[in-house]
Amino acid sequence: MSVQWRPLTDEDLPQLTGLVARVLAADGGMPLAADPAFLRSRFPTGLAAVGPDGALVAAAGYTVDRGGTGAVDPDWRGRGLGTRLLDWQFDQGGDALVVSTESLTDSADALFRARGLRPIFGEDVMRIAFEGAPLDATPADVSLTEWSDEVAPRFYACWIASFRDRPTVPDWTQDQWVDWVSDGLNPQWTLLASRRVEDRGVEVRGVEDRGVEDVGFVVGGEEGDAWIVQVGVVPSARGAGLGAGLVAESLRRMRADGKASAVLDVNVNNPGAARVYERLGFHRIGRRARYGR
């Protein structure tokens, strides 16, 4: 059976949502990828393949900021549709093309590599079902503060302290970081962990007015699913279960608010964090990735 190629239009959004949902069901990946608002941001213009019955069976999108992305119905694979989508994306982005996928498969990896693209970013998508999940306790010497506009600068400072030793983290201003985490953020699920300075037995510059040191944070949000958006612990407080305890407390609050499960992403280059999440009860449901030259 042959397909008809034509431009992707706004009227295709319901079919595009169904197409991506079928891809996620077959390959796993980031559940948010089937959200209509997410798809609008990734497929503002695109190429569509339509089957004989008029159903959308493949699509590619492109933006200058995010590069290319695409999806092929699982029942239509092995017919060269993915290659045609990638050709179109190269027509848009040229040799500087970056492509992203929210449901990485071995065949997609092979296609990208055959065209000279290599992985430049990868995250495993993990999910936890709350029923029966054992959740770690937050260390007893830690106090927790929920997110508010007044406390946001402290969250940002803790993010800087937690991630400054990771060269791939963006060099964001406070406004940029707050704007990024605020999308779907739930203040009751977003927590800042602090310890009294005198309990630590150390002098911490800049916190004498409060008498506490901020040592970790977790950001919880909701975009379709409940999400652990980000978690960080300052170097001096690592190795004592603080990160796991913060995630567990955020998960407890999600469960108390009626959520049945939660999702998070963990960088493929951070196996230690993945093991912590597995111990909490998370399991891998797919991989998202970005490829470029």
The verdict on 19 and 111 lying in the same domain is: yes
Q: Which of 165, 139, 141, 170 is nearest to 247 (CA)?
A: 139
Contact status, residue 138 vs residue 249, Cβ threshold 8 Å: yes
How many Cβ atoms are within 10 Å of 10's Cβ, its own excluded? 9
Would 281 be classed as within a structural domain? no
The verdict on 213 and 98 lying in the same domain is: no
- Residue at which a domain ends, from 72, 96, 122: 122
Q: Residues 61-83: what's their mean pLDDT?
A: 96
Would 219 be classed as within a structural domain? yes
The verdict on 117 and 235 lying in the same domain is: no
The verdict on 255 and 143 lying in the same domain is: yes
In this predicted structure, what is the pLDDT of residue 208? 46
**Residue 224 pLDDT grade (very low, low, confident, very high; cuts 50, 70, 90):** confident
The verdict on 211 and 106 lying in the same domain is: no
Q: Which of 101, 126, 91 is nearest to 227 (CA)?
A: 126
Provide the domain count of the chain.
Answer: 2
Would 113 be classed as within a structural domain? yes
Q: Read off the pLDDT of residues 142-163 as tens digits, 9 standing for 90 and up.
A: 999 999 999 999 999 999 999 9
- Give every strand in the sheet of 283-292, ordered side by side: 4-7, 46-50, 56-63, 67-72, 99-101, 283-292, 118-129, 261-267, 225-233, 212-223, 191-196, 143-146
**Residue 206 pLDDT grade (very low, low, confident, very high; cuts 50, 70, 90):** very low
Would 102 be classed as within a structural domain? yes
Would 293 be classed as within a structural domain? no
- Residue at which a domain ends, from 56, 91, 122: 122
pLDDT greater than 50 at residue 48: yes
d(CA 191, CA 146): 5
Would 105 be classed as within a structural domain? yes
The verdict on 84 and 23 lying in the same domain is: yes
The verdict on 109 and 220 lying in the same domain is: no
Q: Read off the pLDDT of residues 7-38 as tens digits, 9 standing for 90 and up.
A: 999 999 999 999 999 999 999 999 999 999 99
For residue 55, the domain's CATH number is 3.40.630.30
Q: Read off the pLDDT of residues 86-99 as tens digits, 9 standing for 90 and up.
A: 999 999 999 999 99
Q: Which of 213, 190, 211, 202 is nearest to 142 (CA)?
A: 213
Q: Is 189 helix (H, G, I), strand (E, B) or coil?
A: helix
The verdict on 178 and 106 lying in the same domain is: no
Tell me what the pLDDT averaged over the chain comes to.
91
pLDDT greater than 70 at residue 202: no
What range defines the domain where residue 87 resides?
4-122
The verdict on 140 and 254 lying in the same domain is: yes
pLDDT greater than 80 at residue 198: no
**Residue 139 pLDDT grade (very low, low, confident, very high; cuts 50, 70, 90):** confident
- Residue at which a domain ends, from 96, 122, 148: 122
pLDDT greater than 50 at residue 127: yes
In this predicted structure, what is the pLDDT of residue 169? 78
pLDDT greater than 80 at residue 200: no
Q: Which of 33, 68, 73, 29 is nearest to 50 (CA)?
A: 73
The verdict on 23 and 88 lying in the same domain is: yes
Query: Which value, in Å, is the radius of gyration of the alpha carbons in the chain?
Result: 21
The verdict on 162 and 138 lying in the same domain is: yes
Q: Read off the pLDDT of residues 175-185 as tens digits, 9 standing for 90 and up.
A: 999 999 998 99
The verdict on 157 and 203 lying in the same domain is: yes
